[in-house]
Amino acid sequence: HPLNGAARDEEDSMDLVQHYLEDYYNLAKDAKQFAKRKDSSPVVKKIQEMQKFLGLKVTGKLDSDTLQVMHKPRCGVPDIRE
Amino acid sequence: FRTFPGMPKWRKTHLTYRIVNYTLDLPRDAVDSAIEKALKVWEEVTPLTFSRIYEREADIMITFAVRNHGDFFDFDGPGKVLAHAYPPGPGINGDAHFDDDEQWTKDTSGTNLFLVAAHEFGHSLGLEHSKNPEALMYPVYNSSTDLASFRLSQDDVTGIQSLYGPPPA
């Protein structure tokens, strides 16, 4: 079934978050659906690392400030390397 | 500030740069002056000097490209990633790539080429991203930067001088 607007937005957001954490914060790539693991400790840890690096409130959650920064244009060099 | 692992840096103070191709968003002379101004930002606080060459391999090769451009780090269309650059060294190292799917502008109505170039050249010279939101080397593009009064932050100056020292007195 075609996703409705909200569901599609949610999926787009998860896509953005997954790539952001993989590309810039060295989150291990994983074939499992990201939405299902976004509350897992490795992902929460990476969200916290990203929030700390970028000077955001460290919540470990995908709050609006965190998602807003992830949508901003930026440099392609990773923030955290292996 | 942060430097790259192993603190790669240029072992010479005179570096060359080459503008390999141009974006169609701006007149060529506007690209030339934005690049020159972006290098001067670092020149003013270090012993480094830059000269432009028009052929052969320069230390800093500057290219505009879209999507897959041969370095395993594809650009992603308009928005998100604006550019990337490589730390000091031979070959692709030191080079700076700009995503030509962005709308490059002289002011901040689009993506300001001078600001992004100055940030990427920080990488070309050995700086990684800074956690300081006031720093030029902070990873997120700040479209509200006042270009007229732009200066490197102390974090940027301390960082680059940790690699090359201050300019000669």
User: Is the Cβ–Cβ distance between B160 and B45 less than 8 Å?
Assistant: yes
Res B102 pLDDT > 80: yes
Which one of B81, B105, B121, B132 makes the best mutation probe of the A interface by having the most chain A beta carbons within 10 Å? B81
Is residue A65's pLDDT more than 90?
A: yes
ipTM score of complex: 0.95
Q: What is the pLDDT of residues B1-17, one digit of tens each?
A: 999 999 999 999 999 99
Q: What is the pLDDT of residues B26-46, one digit of tens each?
A: 999 999 999 999 999 999 999
Catalytic (active site) residue B120: yes
Q: Which of B43, B55, B120, B134 is catalytic?
A: B120
Task: Name the closest residue on chain B to residue A16, using Cα atoms.
Answer: B80
Q: Quickly state the pLDDT bin for A30 (edges 50, 70, 90).
A: confident
Q: Is the per-residue pLDDT at A34 higher than 80?
A: no
Contact B81 A76 (CB under 8 A): yes
CA dihedral B50→A74→B142→B36, nearest 10 degrees, is: 20
A14-18, A52-56, A60-64, B113-117: the lowest-pLDDT one:
A14-18
Specify whether the CB–CB gap between A59 and A51 falls below 8 A.
yes
H-helix or E-strand containing B60? strand B60-65
**How sure is the predictor about A3, in pLDDT bands with cuts at 50, 70 and 90?**
low
Question: In chain B, which residues have their Cβ closer than 8 Å to the Cβ of A77?
Answer: 84-85, 123, 128-129, 139
As a whole number of angstroms, the distance between CA B161 and CA B159 comes to 5
